[in-house]
Amino acid sequence: MQHSTPAPADPDIQALIADHLHLEGPLLPILHAIQAAFGHIPQTAVPLIAVALNITKAEVHGVMSFYHDFREVPAGRHVVRICRAEACQSMGGTALAEGALAELGVAWHGTTPNGNVTIEPVYCLGLCACAPAAMIDGKVVGRLDAARMSKLLKEAGA
Amino acid sequence: MKDFIIPKSVHDDIDMGTPARTGAPVTLTIDGFSVTVPEGTSVMRAAAEIGMQIPKLCASDNIEAFGSCRLCVVEIEGRRGTPASCTTPVAEGMAVTTQSSKVKKIRKGVMELYISDHPLDCLTCSANGDCELQDMAGVVGLRDQRYEAGRNHYDASGLGTLAQGDTRARSVAADLGNPEYIPQDTSNPYFTYDPSKCIVCSRCVRACEEVQGTFALTIEGRGFESRVSAGMTGDDFMASDCVSCGACVQACPTASLQEKSIIELGTPERSVITTCAYCGVGCSFKAELNGDELVRMVPYKHGKANRGHSCVKGRFAYGYANHKDRILNPMIRDSIDQPWQEVSWDEALTFAAQRMRGLQDKYGKKSIGVITSSRCTNEETYLVQKLTRAVFGNNNTDTCARVCHSPTGYGLGQTFGTSAGTQDFDSVEDTDVIILIGANPTDAHPVFASRMKKRLREGAKIIVIDPRKIDLVRSAHIEASYHLPLRPGTNVAVVSALAHVIVTEGLMDQDFIRERCDWDEFSEYAEFISDPRHSPEATELLTGVPAADLRAAARQFATGGNGAIYYGLGVTEHSQGSTTVIGIANLAMLTGNIGRRGVGVNPLRGQNNVQGSCDMGSFPHELPGYRHVKNQDVRDIYQQIWGVQIDSEPGLRIPNMLDAAVEGTFKGLYCQGEDILQSDPDTKHVAAGLAAMECVIVHDLFLNETANYAHVFLPGSTFLEKDGTFTNAERRINRVREVMKPLNGYADWEVTQLLANAMGAGWTYTHPTQIMDEIALTTPSFAGVSYDVLEEKGSVQWPCNEAHPDGTPLMHVDGFMRGKGRFIVTEYVATEEKSGPRFPLLLTTGRILSQYNVGAQTRRTDNSLWHDEDLLEIHPHDAELRGLKDGQWIKLASRSGETTLRAKVSDRMSPGVVYTTFHHPDTQANVITTDFSDWATNCPEYKVTAVQVSHSNGPTDWQEEYNAQAAQSRRILPAAE
């Protein structure tokens, strides 16, 4: 990736795994802990988790890939999620999303070349009353239009 | 399973939808028809029982119901909605409707959705005519597909209109306009995975988990994106944990997972049920053909050994039958430095017969002998031992069981009274605690291992006694309760220590022992084993097994419910092999674990018919049925039928033959289907013995290593080319059926008969069934066996006679065959093979999943992609001490010889122990092994050799000389016109 942060070391990953082994059904807590620590779940973690839990790497991959929020590679410094669900679509969400993608020059799940912004679709933020809505770094924003979106993207450093 | 679509399939192969249950009877009506099934049965299976196939896609009767496809919905009186019949258990008085306008509409709608993301290139699809999706579309009457072509998984161009078989869809594969399109995975040599044809029914994933137990597959992603994935991101099938057992391919209802042979050759039109010729599990297969062209081998659902499962060898590795190396013409030569001369059968047989008779005239009647094959049929083996007893006039017959399970025969014969395992494979389903000693079933007996793993996942415990961390010690969803990593050669001490704990802690089953065993012998044994020198604490230093673990393991076995012992060559191939087998029998008797399901002593036999070859009288001292040649009454039976006198003296064992050859008294050998040069210990000694003989007749598929020293080569036939029977590790006699005519012209039994007749025997067998009749007539334990019986029952387990007309799944149920079970003291005597300053490491040998025995068959298939050379596994500590790195060439030396191979640094090994396989003749692991052998049976001590490991620059002198000699010896001159 564009970031120069060093890849997480195996012992660090193993320590996080060990912290959760006592739990019943420890796989999801482990995935959360690794993502929280490194911003993503490096592929090197998959076999380590598999060995620790005595399951296969396929099983880890199956669970991890089921949840869109688990990332295989680090995201940009800021994550913008635009709602693509029905209510937002009916309020101009499609145009808003296309505009944002065009402005950033990337496809869904892409990150800008400077590593500042990653853009993702999300299916309903529960903000239908304020559609179209988006979420930037965990903070929701509603009643967006092209200008506001552009301003937010610029603030994020796109 | 998609097999049932093939219209001309043999027997009843209908997929019942969900697994069978065993519960109290429940009666319900389905579409007005009354049916009674066991409680817990699904509505779908109940319907199938009365011949009604409810439409389905995600259900199959070898995996648990899943309820995802929603095609099998039905209506049930008094219940709301439309439940899935696969996940709905039957209930008393239930009234089910399978065909109402409501469910039909739902099914059609579901089917339409499936089809909306499935290419409609049925005519050019490899599953055409063998596709459940196609069948179900027909069954539900799908006539329309109203969804617009949009995003899909099959059109690489992204236009959303092209069927997958369309050339335009293929031509743009390099530039994928469609992010949802995933190209085919063709990495596995035997099958392809085409994501575009996947309907995400999860049958493959579930088969991999539930049937095979490997968990190599998963569904990645979710919703529309979800697809089958082998391993993690970036893995293809070859890079994943996949062991290529074929269960997923078998389970796939479409062409998504498809055999490459079907893609190339088309769907088969006929099938023949036969038995696999690889390991001692003896899986039943359907050989599916077009004419006489074999298209694929699929495991046969009603096979009682494999229950519809298979492994990479039996399922896919049959290509050797047509390999270019196969020799189809007889060949002769005067001496082994000459090239081979192709000749007619007549000339070869006359040459062989004259030479053999000439040797007998010159050196005496006992100067020649035979080695029977554990890969050939019972009938063929019977004829070969008959050849030596009736035609040669001596008892010089031996078989490769000498080098594998002869101690099993001796040990179990002495203690229980029969030379065979006590259980059937189904028995493992009732086992609570397994002791596994010196066996690695996931590699060597994979189909049985899958059944064992299934039981372990259900909660049974396993105690592994092995110097290596084999897969059953710890692998996905399997964890041994105890791993006792003993030093090679200390089996007896460990088994005795287990017995010591059981006896001294009073954990034995006194009632069983009083009732079933000889009490005086037990008392004597109990006194012997209670001696503190047998305690785990006393033997810990010697065996390397922590005493606390051993005690805990003994307690678990004695008190954990049904205890079964499974063992392999790690037990028998030792100087005290027979003693360990006796110790195992003692353990089973002590704990009362004999004579019912879920318990017993179970040797895992190596080769497909090693049990059978022993049963058929291959040993020099025993006539068929393990009856000693010194018994006049037994000899009389054969003398009467064969019209000859039978020698009352036992003949020579293989090692004796070779010793006698070196001494100059044994001169001629007929060796059928065994490569003693590669498989027997101390290769140099074997080579010297063979070189000293004046007539070596090799009867084999290939010019094997032994053939380098042969004067006559008689081409053999494969298991596909003959009729006969194999007997597997559970004493099950399975039919082998002729699938195609022998490429070499004759089945092996015919060749033996031709040789016998060339020597004046006058045999007149015209079909193997006559040989089986002769076996039944002369051998009490086979008295009830005939091809008619096998045809009717599928298979039987011997003894099969008047007392047991249906065969004997479990032995010693009401009492031991010999009367009272016999406890024999097991004094530990350390092997003379010890590590020391010059040879500080202990070498042990074994095999790997994809290769079989000396590799003659599997090396000639794509199985070599998994294992193309023998590697020396060495613990990181031992490697570091010697400055060795993973993948480096190393020299492996013992007192007997030295060889070179590459190192694999692995912490599966214990420090001080190294391991290799013997699949490749280039390595010749047996140059290293010594001539130490079992005290009772001469079974070689393959499993313990003191060795040193060091850096190497290349092949040893022996390897270079040997390869030069082999190349020289394999020259062939074609027959003169």
Q: What is the ipTM of this complex?
A: 0.90
B236 touching chain A per CB within 8 A: no
B255 burial via Cβ count (<10 Å: 0-12, 13-18, 19+): buried
Q: B479–A66: do the CB atoms touch at under 8 Å?
A: no
Q: How sure is the predictor about B456, in pLDDT bands with cuts at 50, 70 and 90?
A: very high
B151 touching chain A per CB within 8 A: no
Q: Tell me, what's the pLDDT at B171?
A: 58
* Whole-number Å distance between alpha carbons of B380 and B752: 8
Sequence-ordered list of residues with C-beta below 8 angstroms from that of B865, at least 6 positions apart, any chain: B189, B238, B850
Of B611 and B148, which is predicted with more confidence? B611
Q: Tell me, what's the pLDDT at B928?
A: 83
pLDDT in tens, B833-892: 788 889 999 998 888 888 888 788 888 899 888 888 899 999 999 999 999 999 999 999
Q: Tell me, what's the pLDDT at B12?
A: 67
Closest C-alpha among B447, B104, B120, B83 to residue B284:
B447
Side-chain half-sphere of A101: how many Cα atoms within 13 Å?
15
A2 touching chain B per CB within 8 A: no
pLDDT in tens, B17-31: 999 999 999 999 999
B479 touching chain A per CB within 8 A: yes
* Whole-number Å distance between alpha carbons of B139 and B132: 10
pLDDT at B8 over 50: no
Distance from CA of B256 to the nearest CA of A (A): 19
A58 touching chain B per CB within 8 A: yes
Q: At B666, give phi and psi (nearest 5°).
A: -115, 125
Instruction: Please tell me the least confidently modeled range out of B338-342, B346-350, B472-476, B894-898.
Output: B894-898
Mean pLDDT of B323-328: 92
Q: Which residues of B touch A56 (CB under 8 A)?
A: 214-216, 231, 241, 476
B229 touching chain A per CB within 8 A: yes
Mean pLDDT of B290-301: 94
pLDDT at A5 over 70: no
Mean pLDDT of B391-403: 91
B108 burial via Cβ count (<10 Å: 0-12, 13-18, 19+): middle
DSSP string, B920-951: -TTT-GGGTS-S-B-TTT--B-TT-EEEEEEE
**Mean pLDDT of the residues in chain B:** 91
Give the residue ranges of DSSP H helices in A21-109: 27-38, 45-53, 57-66, 86-90, 93-104
B966 burial via Cβ count (<10 Å: 0-12, 13-18, 19+): middle
Closest CB to B232 among A54, A61, A66: A61
* Whole-number Å distance between alpha carbons of B779 and B784: 10
Q: Tell me, what's the pLDDT at B400?
A: 85
Within its chain, how far is the Cα of B623 from the centroid?
A: 27
Q: Tell me, what's the pLDDT at B165?
A: 64
Q: Tell me, what's the pLDDT at B1?
A: 39
Q: Tell me, what's the pLDDT at B3?
A: 41
Closest C-alpha among A123, A146, A147 to residue A135:
A123
Sequence-ordered list of residues with C-beta below 8 angstroms from that of B717, at least 6 positions apart, any chain: B701, B742, B743, B744, B746, B747, B748
Mean pLDDT of B360-383: 95
Q: Tell me, what's the pLDDT at B168?
A: 61
A57 touching chain B per CB within 8 A: yes
Mean pLDDT of B786-805: 92
Looking up tokens 């030396």 gives B893
B480 touching chain A per CB within 8 A: no
A40 touching chain B per CB within 8 A: no
pLDDT at B566 over 70: yes
* Whole-number Å distance between alpha carbons of B673 and A46: 46
H/E stretch holding B433: strand B433-437
3-state secondary structure of B515: helix
pLDDT at B590 over 60: yes
Q: Which residues of A touch B233 (CB under 8 A)?
A: 43, 46, 61, 65, 72
Q: A43–B234: do the CB atoms touch at under 8 Å?
A: yes
pLDDT at B283 over 90: yes
Mean pLDDT of B89-116: 95
Q: At A151, give phi and psi (nearest 5°).
A: -65, -45
Interface of A with B in 66-95 (CB under 8 A): 66, 68, 72
* Whole-number Å distance between alpha carbons of B797 and B810: 9
Of B811 and B171, which is predicted with more confidence? B811
pLDDT at B797 over 50: yes
Count of CB contacts below 8 A, A vs B? 62
Q: Would you say B754 and B714 are in contact if contact means Cβ atoms under 8 Å apart?
A: no
Q: Which residues of A touch B232 (CB under 8 A)?
A: 43, 46-47, 57-58, 60-61
Q: B215–A58: do the CB atoms touch at under 8 Å?
A: yes
Percent of chain B past pLDDT 90, that is, above it, reads: 76
pLDDT at B446 over 50: yes
Q: Tell me, what's the pLDDT at B471?
A: 95
pLDDT at B828 over 90: no
Q: Tell me, what's the pLDDT at B94?
A: 96
Q: Tell me, what's the pLDDT at A1?
A: 40
- E runs forming strands in B373-432: 397-399
Best mutation target, A57, A60, A106, to test chain B (most B CBs within 10 A): A57
* Whole-number Å distance between alpha carbons of B13 and B6: 10
* Whole-number Å distance between alpha carbons of B338 and B968: 8
Q: Would you say B787 and B385 are in contact if contact means Cβ atoms under 8 Å apart?
A: no
pLDDT in tens, A126-155: 999 998 999 999 999 999 999 999 999 999
Q: What is the DSSP letter of B673?
A: S
pLDDT in tens, A67-125: 988 999 899 999 999 999 999 999 999 999 999 999 999 988 889 999 999 999 999 99
DSSP string, B220-241: ES-GGG-EEEESSTT--TTTSS
Q: How sure is the predictor about B976, in pLDDT bands with cuts at 50, 70 and 90?
A: low
Distance from CA of B384 to the nearest CA of A (A): 48
Domains of chain B by start residue, with CATH: 1-122+133-145 (3.10.20.740), 331-404+610-793 (3.40.50.740), 419-603 (3.40.228.10), 841-968 (2.40.40.20)
Q: Tell me, what's the pLDDT at B553?
A: 97
A50 touching chain B per CB within 8 A: yes
Q: Which residues of B touch A66 (CB under 8 A)?
A: 220-222
Domains of chain A by start residue, with CATH: 10-66 (no CATH), 78-155 (3.40.30.10)
Q: Tell me, what's the pLDDT at B175?
A: 57
H/E stretch holding B248: helix B247-251
Q: A65–B221: do the CB atoms touch at under 8 Å?
A: yes
Q: How sure is the predictor about A10, in pLDDT bands with cuts at 50, 70 and 90?
A: very high
Reduce the secondary structure of B145-156 to three states and give it as a string: CCCCCCCCCCCC
Q: How sure is the predictor about B170, in pLDDT bands with cuts at 50, 70 and 90?
A: low
Mean pLDDT of B247-254: 96
A43 touching chain B per CB within 8 A: yes
Q: A59–B233: do the CB atoms touch at under 8 Å?
A: no
Q: Tell me, what's the pLDDT at B409?
A: 87
Q: Tell me, what's the pLDDT at B829?
A: 86
Instruction: Please tell me the least confidently modeled range out of B369-373, B523-527, B849-853.
Output: B849-853
Q: At B30, give phi and psi (nearest 5°).
A: -125, 120
Q: B241–A46: do the CB atoms touch at under 8 Å?
A: no
Which amino acid makes up residue B19?
A: P
pLDDT in tens, B930-964: 878 888 888 888 888 999 999 988 788 888 888 88
pLDDT at B977 over 70: no
